[in-house]
Amino acid sequence: MPRHRSPSQRGLYPDGVRELDPVSLDEAFRDRGFQRLAGVDEAGRGPLAGPVVAAAVILPPGTVLEGLRDSKALSSDQRERFFELIHLKGFAVGVGFAEAEEIDRINILQATLKAMHRAVTVLDPPPHALLIDGRSGIGHFLPQFPLVKGDARSQCIAAASVVAKVHRDRLMLRYHEMFPHYGFDRHKGYGTREHLEAVRRHGCSPIHRRSFRGVKETLG
Note whether 204 and 100 are within 8 A (CB). Answer: no
* Alpha helices by DSSP H, 36-99: 76-89
Q: Is the pLDDT of residue 141 over 50?
A: yes
Dihedral (CA of 17, 33, 30, 114) sign: negative
- For the structural domain made of 12-173, what CATH number should be given? 3.30.420.10
**174 φ, ψ to 5°?**
-65, -40
| Across 25-43, average pLDDT | 96
What Å distances lie between residue 183 and 134, 180, 209, CA to CA? 30, 6, 16
Q: What would the pLDDT profile of 80-134 be if each residue is shown by its tens digit? A: 999 999 999 889 999 999 999 999 999 999 999 999 999 999 999 999 999 999 9
Q: What percent of the chain has pLDDT over 90?
A: 85
Structure confidence at residue 115 (pLDDT): 98
Q: What percent of the chain has pLDDT over 70?
A: 95
What Å distances lie between residue 47 and 2, 51, 56, 187, 219, CA to CA? 23, 9, 21, 9, 17
Q: Is the pLDDT of residue 12 over 90?
A: no
Q: Is 215 helix (H, G, I), strand (E, B) or coil?
A: coil
Note whether 181 and 198 are within 8 A (CB). Answer: yes
What distance in Å separates the CA atoms of residue 39 and residue 150, rounded to the nearest whole number? 9
Structure confidence at residue 203 (pLDDT): 95
What distance in Å separates the CA atoms of residue 54 and residue 208, rounded to the nearest whole number? 18
Structure confidence at residue 4 (pLDDT): 44
Q: What is the DSSP letter of 137?
A: B
Strand order in the sheet with 37-43: 92-98, 52-58, 37-43, 129-133, 144-147
State if pTM tops 0.75.
yes
Q: Chain-wide mean pLDDT for the chain? A: 93
CA proximity to 160, closest of 28, 62, 43, 7? 43
Structure confidence at residue 139 (pLDDT): 85
Annotated domain spans of the chain = 12-173
